[in-house]
Amino acid sequence: MVVSGCEHGIDAGAWVLRALGEREAAAYEEHLSTCADCRGEVARLQVSADALALATEQVAPPRELKNRILGAIEAEQPARRPAPRARRWFLRPLPVAGLAAAALAVGIAAGVLLSGESTRTVDAHVAMRGAQATVSITGDHAKLSVSGMRNPPDGRIYQVWLQRGQGAPQPTDALFTVNRNGQGHVEVPGSVKGVDTILVTSEPRGGSLQPTRKPVITAAV
């Protein structure tokens, strides 16, 4: 992996993926006009970003899976006495912006960039020879990127799970496949605060509420 000799090289990935705010982007553009190191880093990362654009997109989960997951969560919640003034909570959409985070066999993976927060990258264990996976974590959001993987057999799909402590893995509606080059990436739904392990298993197409196969990816976060 080539690293820029300039301290601002860390922002190159965010620049390539248009993840910087308006002010930051303008300042970085001005910096690029005087810094050959960062211009080289941007050019290098742009190749990888273009390659990521060709990766298979996250598969939209069927409505039935979402309903089953929500139903399972509600069934596990203890009965609560009604509060005098109920507060409504809404799911926050995942940020669109990403931050280039780690080098894989064919390039870099993109992470989620939140203003003012740093991104850390975790190398995952992959039970598939020649395959690699990383999890990029920014704040309480995470993104999984893989390379060198094979798609599961016909009728099956990869599903992401979250595990807290020694508890049973909890299902998510994050389903994905990889492209013909074995690359893919997927946003991990919701918050990973308190999550100890992110898992990926091969499940029947449409997803499962409980894992039916051993994990092919295990990331201790």
Token pair for 115: 């203003």
b/e code 49-85 from CB counts within 10 Å (16+ = b):
bebbeebbebbebeeebeebbeeeeeeeeeeeeeeee
Q: What pLDDT was estimated at residue 114?
A: 37
Contact status, residue 101 vs residue 111, Cβ threshold 8 Å: yes
Q: What pLDDT was estimated at residue 26?
A: 84
Q: What pLDDT was estimated at residue 84?
A: 44
> pTM value?
0.55
Which pLDDT tens digits describe the chain residue by residue (221 residues)? 444 578 887 888 877 776 777 788 888 888 988 998 888 888 878 766 655 544 455 666 776 776 767 666 666 555 544 444 443 333 333 333 333 333 333 344 444 333 456 889 999 999 999 999 999 999 999 999 999 999 999 999 999 999 999 999 999 999 999 998 899 999 999 899 999 999 999 999 999 999 999 999 999 99
Packing angle, helices 22-32 and 36-52, rounded to 10? 120
Kindly report the number of other CB atoms within 10 A of residue 178's CB atom. Answer: 20
Strand partners, 147: 132
| R_g of the chain, CA atoms, integer Å | 19
Helix ranges (DSSP H) in 3-123? 12-16, 22-32, 36-52, 63-76
Q: What pLDDT was estimated at residue 13?
A: 80
Estimate to the nearest angstrom the gap between the alpha carbon of 168 and the chain centroid.
21
